[in-house]
């Protein structure tokens, strides 16, 4: 039974991605989608320059891939931070990473348009994590409550800074900042996919290779040290790589909450807490969830609903239901 669940999670991005390609304002049949993809990859069909080809290859496919990359990045960061802090309530949004990256992006759009948005997002995302961790550590060992409180404080601070930028910026740029803060994949293209793919891969791949250490770190500092793990070095590496992935994802789509908190819990409830399998399965599940959420956001009405709204509306009640149903078993309590 567990093997079937694992297989379904692994193939879910491909199935949901294919499902998303033939849904939209312009109807394309599933068979035509398959022909277009096979023709583009293997040149096995001669379908000519039909409108459906441009819609699938140039508009919907980069959007689906970008959504999958962002979902995988947010889920990876959620699994990593929950593991190293041994805290099921931690995610990039709560620790202030998203708010810090948002502030970096907002000041770039508003005042520093000559600087790369990704660079500023990463700089302020790292700054927010460093401040959160430093404040939480003032009482000695980092425990759950101080970490959550410091994350809320830092997140509120950078959110206030974003509000100041919105107050001071030119009205034409204000509209761009507000829409960007709600999260959207409407501007996805192949250049964005390449740029985000490189940055997210650079953040996720080292974590994937070191995922077995998350099992040791989640046992506690003393146990990890007794097994020869350098806690401080590994914690910095995990935080740095996960922050890089989240900063790049936030820089191309805006703030999208709940994914990094919800998806790892869902996968943990289905397959168990072993990070050697939890991490790769969370990558696949995060990609699937984000593709599905974006498909809902662009097909539910005649205009695009910001995907951050969709993830909040669908994620919060579903997460509460699953917490009541299986949260205690998932964390071994």
- Tokens for 205, please give them: 């791949």
Read off the pLDDT of residues 16-62 as tens digits, 9 standing for 90 and up: 998 899 888 787 888 888 888 888 877 776 777 788 888 888 889 99
Residues 6+ apart with CB under 8 A from 126: 100, 240, 243, 247
Closest alpha carbon to 122 in 221, 19, 196: 196
As a whole number of angstroms, the longest Cα–Cα distance in the chain is 67
Name the pLDDT band for 77 (thresholds 50, 70, 90): very high
The reported pTM is 0.87
Residue 1 CB neighbour total at 10 angstroms? 5
Read off the pLDDT of residues 88-101 as tens digits, 9 standing for 90 and up: 777 777 778 888 88
DSSP result, 291-324: HHHHHHHHHSSSSPPPHHHHHHHHHHHHHHHHHH
Q: What is the DSSP letter of 228?
A: T
Phi-psi region of 87 (alpha: psi -120 to 50; beta: other; left: phi over 0): beta
Read off the pLDDT of residues 109-168 as tens digits, 9 standing for 90 and up: 888 888 887 788 888 888 888 888 888 777 666 666 777 788 888 989 998 998 898 888
End-to-end CA distance of the chain: 23
Whole-angstrom Cα distance, residue 37 to residue 109? Answer: 36
């Amino acid at each position: 039974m567990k093997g079937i669940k694992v297989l379904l999670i692994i193939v879910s991005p491909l199935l949901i991605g294919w499902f998303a390609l033939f849904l939209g304002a312009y109807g394309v049949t599933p068979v035509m989608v398959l022909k277009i993809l096979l023709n583009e990859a293997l040149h096995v069909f001669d379908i000519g320059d039909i409108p459906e080809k441009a819609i699938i290859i140039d508009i919907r496919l980069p959007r689906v891939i970008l959504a999958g990359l962002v979902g995988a990045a947010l889920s990876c960061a959620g699994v990593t931070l929950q593991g190293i802090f041994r805290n099921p309530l931690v995610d990039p949004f709560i620790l202030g990473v998203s708010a810090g990256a948002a502030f970096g992006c907002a000041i770039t759009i508003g005042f520093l348009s000559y600087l790369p948005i990704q660079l500023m997002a990463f700089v302020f995302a790292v700054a927010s994590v460093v401040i959160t961790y430093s404040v939480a550590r003032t009482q000695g060992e980092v425990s759950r409550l101080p970490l959550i409180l410091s994350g809320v404080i830092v997140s509120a601070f950078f959110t206030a800074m974003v509000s100041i930028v919105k107050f001071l910026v030119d009205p034409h740029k204000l509209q761009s900042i507000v829409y960007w803060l709600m999260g959207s994949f409407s501007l996805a293209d192949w250049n964005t996919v390449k740029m985000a793919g490189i940055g997210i891969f650079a953040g996720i791949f080292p974590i994937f290779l070191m995922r077995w250490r998350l099992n040791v770190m989640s046992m506690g500092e003393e146990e990890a040290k007794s097994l020869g793990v350098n806690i401080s070095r590994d914690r910095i590496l995990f935080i740095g790589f996960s922050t890089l992935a989240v900063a790049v994802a936030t820089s191309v789509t805006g703030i999208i909450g709940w994914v990094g908190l919800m998806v790892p819990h869902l996968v943990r409830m289905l397959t168990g807490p072993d990070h050697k399998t939890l991490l790769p399965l969370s990558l696949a599940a995060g990609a699937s969830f984000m593709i599905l959420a974006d498909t809902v956001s662009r097909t539910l009405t005649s205009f695009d609903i910001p995907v951050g709204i969709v993830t909040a509306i669908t994620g919060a009640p579903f997460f509460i239901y699953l917490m009541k149903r299986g949260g205690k078993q998932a964390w071994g309590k």
